C-alpha cells in the first residue's frame, strides 16, 4: 500500500524557518516526481512545489519562490520542504503528494495519493 | 499564476446530476490534457477522481465523468448519492514546471 506521512509542522514566528518531511513507502520512490500542496484553514488547495525523480526539474508557485526549497533523498525515500522567511499567509495544512510520472517535463500529471498533511501555523 | 475558476457551490437531489465547471486559459486548461479532479471530504485528504480530463482511476464509480472544451473543463456527477457531498477541486498543468488548482466547489446533496 502506498503511504505518505508528513511531519515537521508546528507553530513558528513570522520570519523564522521550518523544515517539513514526507516519508514514502509502498512504491519505488525514485521512480516518481513528488509535490507539496497546501490548504489554508477553510480555504482551497494551492500547489506549492514539485520535484522530479532525480531532482533535475523543480518548480515553485510564485507565492513561495525564493523562500521555499524542495528537495528529496531517494536513499531515504523522503521528500522535504525547507521554508524560510515564513509569513502569516503561509499558515496551512501542507500535503505531500505523489505524481503519476517521473518528471515535471513535459508536464506535471496528477496527484495520487496524498498524505494526511502536517499543519504549519505562522504567528507571533 | 491565478487559480482556475470554479463555482463556489452546486447542488442536486439524490439521483440527479450535477456539473461543475473549471475555467482557465489557453496556458493551462486549454493548452494541456492534464486536467484532474479531486474530491475532499471534511477533515480528509483530497482523493483523485478524474485524470487526463476524462479518465477514471480504478475504484472510482462510473457516475463520475470529465470533459473539456476550450479553456473550460467539467466534472459531472450522475446519480447523486449522499456520499458525493464534498468539496471538489480541478487541477491543470500550467507550463514551466507549474500546476494550478481551481477555487473549489462545495457540492450539496439536497
pLDDT in tens, B47-72: 999 999 999 999 999 999 999 999 99
Whether residue B97 and residue A35 make contact (CB cut-off 8 A), yes or no, is no
Instruction: State whether the Cα torsion A122-A81-A25-A57 is positive or negative.
Output: positive
Contact residues for A95 (Cβ-Cβ < 8 A; gap 6+): A6, A36, A37, A38, A39, A114, A115, A116, A117, B45, B46
Do B97 and A111 count as a contact with CB atoms less than 8 A apart? no
**Confidence at A104, pLDDT banded by 50, 70, 90:** confident
Band (pLDDT 50/70/90 cuts) for residue A108 is confident
CB B56 within 8 A of CB A112: no
pLDDT at B39 over 80: yes
Nearest CB to B48 within list A104, A112, A117: A112
Distances from the Cα of A36 to the Cα of A4, A8, A63, B53, angstroms: 11, 13, 13, 22
Mean pLDDT across B25-35: 95
Cβ neighbours around A31 below 10 Å, total: 11
Quick check: bond before B82 cis, omega within 30?
no
* pLDDT(A30) > 90: yes
The span from the CA of A37 to the CA of A49, in Å, is 7
Cβ proximity of A29 and A96 under 8 Å: no
Cβ atoms of B43 and B96 closer than 8 Å: no
The predicted pLDDT at position B51 comes to 97
CB distance from A61 to chain B under 8 Å? yes
**Residues of A with Cβ-Cβ distance to B1 under 8 angstroms:** 61-63
C-alpha angle B75/B76/B80, rounded to 5°?
135
Task: Give the pLDDT score at A107.
Answer: 85
For residue B18, name the pLDDT band (cuts at 50, 70, 90): very high
Residue B1 has pLDDT above 90, yes or no: no
pLDDT of residue A59: 95
pLDDT band at A106 (very low <50, low <70, confident <90, very high): confident
Between residues A32 and A108, which one has the greater pLDDT?
A32
Distance, in Å, from the CA atom of B56 to the CA atom of B47, rounded to the nearest integer, reads 12
Nearest to A100 by CA among A52, A58, A47: A52
Residue B13 burial (10 A CB sphere; 0-12, 13-18, 19+): exposed
CB atoms within 10 A of CB A124: 9
Confidence category of residue A55, pLDDT binned at 50, 70, 90: very high
Quick: pLDDT tens for B66-101: 999 999 999 999 999 999 999 999 999 998 889 999
Q: What is the reported pLDDT for B73? A: 98
* Residues of chain B contacting A22 with CB distance shorter than 8 Å: none
Amino acid at each position: 500500500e502506498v503511504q505518505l506521512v508528513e511531519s515537521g509542522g508546528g507553530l513558528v514566528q513570522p520570519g523564522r524557518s521550518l523544515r517539513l518531511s514526507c516519508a514514502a513507502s509502498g512504491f519505488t520512490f525514485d521512480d516518481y516526481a513528488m509535490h507539496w500542496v497546501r490548504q489554508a484553514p477553510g480555504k482551497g488547495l494551492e500547489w506549492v512545489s514539485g520535484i522530479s525523480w532525480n531532482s533535475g526539474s523543480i518548480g515553485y508557485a510564485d507565492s513561495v519562490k525564493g523562500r521555499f526549497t524542495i528537495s528529496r533523498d531517494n536513499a531515504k525515500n523522503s521528500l522535504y520542504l525547507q521554508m524560510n522567511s515564513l509569513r502569516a499567509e503561509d499558515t496551512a495544512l501542507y500535503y505531500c503528494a505523489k505524481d503519476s510520472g517521473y518528471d515535471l517535463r513535459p508536464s506535471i500529471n496528477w496527484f495520487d495519493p496524498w498524505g494526511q498533511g502536517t499543519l504549519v501555523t505562522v504567528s507571533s | 499564476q491565478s487559480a482556475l475558476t470554479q463555482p463556489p457551490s452546486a447542488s442536486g437531489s439524490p439521483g440527479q446530476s450535477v456539473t461543475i465547471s473549471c475555467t482557465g486559459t489557453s496556458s493551462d486548461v486549454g493548452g494541456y490534457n492534464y486536467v484532474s479532479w479531486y474530491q475532499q471530504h471534511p477533515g480528509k485528504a483530497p482523493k483523485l477522481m478524474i485524470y487526463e480530463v476524462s479518465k477514471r482511476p480504478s475504484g472510482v464509480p462510473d457516475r463520475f465523468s470529465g470533459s473539456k472544451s476550450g479553456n473550460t473543463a467539467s466534472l459531472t456527477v450522475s446519480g447523486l448519492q449522499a456520499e458525493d457531498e464534498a468539496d471538489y477541486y480541478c487541477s491543470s498543468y500550467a507550463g514551466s514546471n507549474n500546476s494550478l488548482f481551481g477555487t473549489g466547489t462545495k457540492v450539496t446533496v439536497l
